[in-house]
Amino acid sequence: MTKCKVLILRTAGTNCDYETLFAFEVCGAKVEKLHINNIMENKRKFFEYDILVFPGGFSYGDDIASGKILANEIKNKLGDELREFSLSGRPIIGICNGFQVLVKMGLLPDPKLFKQITTLYYNDSGKFECRWVYLKVLQNSNCLWTKNLPKIISLPVAHMEGKFIPKDKIVLNTLNTNKQIVFKYTTKDGEHLPNYPLDPNGSVEQIAGICNKDGNILGLMPHPERFIFNIQYPFNINLKNKYGLGKIIFQNAVDFVR
């Protein structure tokens, strides 16, 4: 059987590409890392792959705003091809800086509109936040990346600009109505609204991740590629299960393609 092919798109400042590559390989995929310049030499190259990944890091030093330069570069030079790829139903994920890129080019929350209507802004704390957080997985979402996840999971965050803000109440209501909100920051029991530092950035409605209406595009601030094995989790390690909850997210996409 032909292996699922994954493309990790990188540029200057990308620094989570190796971890993300490893995560997909553990899930049985064939993975390639390519610089954006390689794609611009052959704009149809996107379509040689089944899954597209925008990894974490600090693309172009996060000058102007996190992910903004890369978002503009991709939209202006590869926008037609990327939009076609996304509307074909192929899985796309943007993690941390990748999430920032997806919202600032407008691929999320609506690839058909392809216009920026949400953003990720400076944390309320005014500083870089790096810790494990609890996330509520919204069970009514149709996101293909989150199947089989428990209601509450824990993943690490590491960002300066992770405060999710929709353009207006209309956009927020649309996200809720279309079940596009995938992850929310929460407490360990999932029953209470988190205060800082469990809520690391002050996002509107504690939003930590969203998908498009069709559920094939996921953007999230936490890093699932840093929780592929249970030994990576610093609290209550479950030695009965080799793999961590982050692996489920990547496995879902690979299984979807298969």
Neighbours of 167 (CB within 10 A): 12
State if pTM tops 0.75: yes
- Residue 96 annotated as catalytic: yes
Taking only the tens place, the pLDDT of each residue in 174-218 is 999 999 999 999 999 999 999 999 999 999 999 999 999 999 999
Instruction: Assign domain 5-257 to a CATH class.
Output: alpha beta
pLDDT value at residue 204: 98
pLDDT value at residue 2: 77
Taking only the tens place, the pLDDT of each residue in 77-115 is 999 999 999 999 999 999 999 999 999 999 999 999 999
Catalytic residue among 4, 96, 143, 211: 96
Which one is predicted more confidently, 139 or 156? 156
Structure tokens at 148: 């089989």
Burial (Cβ within 10 Å: 0-12, 13-18, ≥19) of residue 83: middle
Place 251 in a pLDDT band, splitting at 50, 70 and 90. very high
Question: What's the average model confidence in pLDDT over 120-125?
Answer: 98
Catalytic residue among 73, 81, 161, 225: 225
pLDDT value at residue 236: 74
Domain ranges of the chain: 5-257
Residues 136, 151 contacting (CB under 8 angstroms): yes
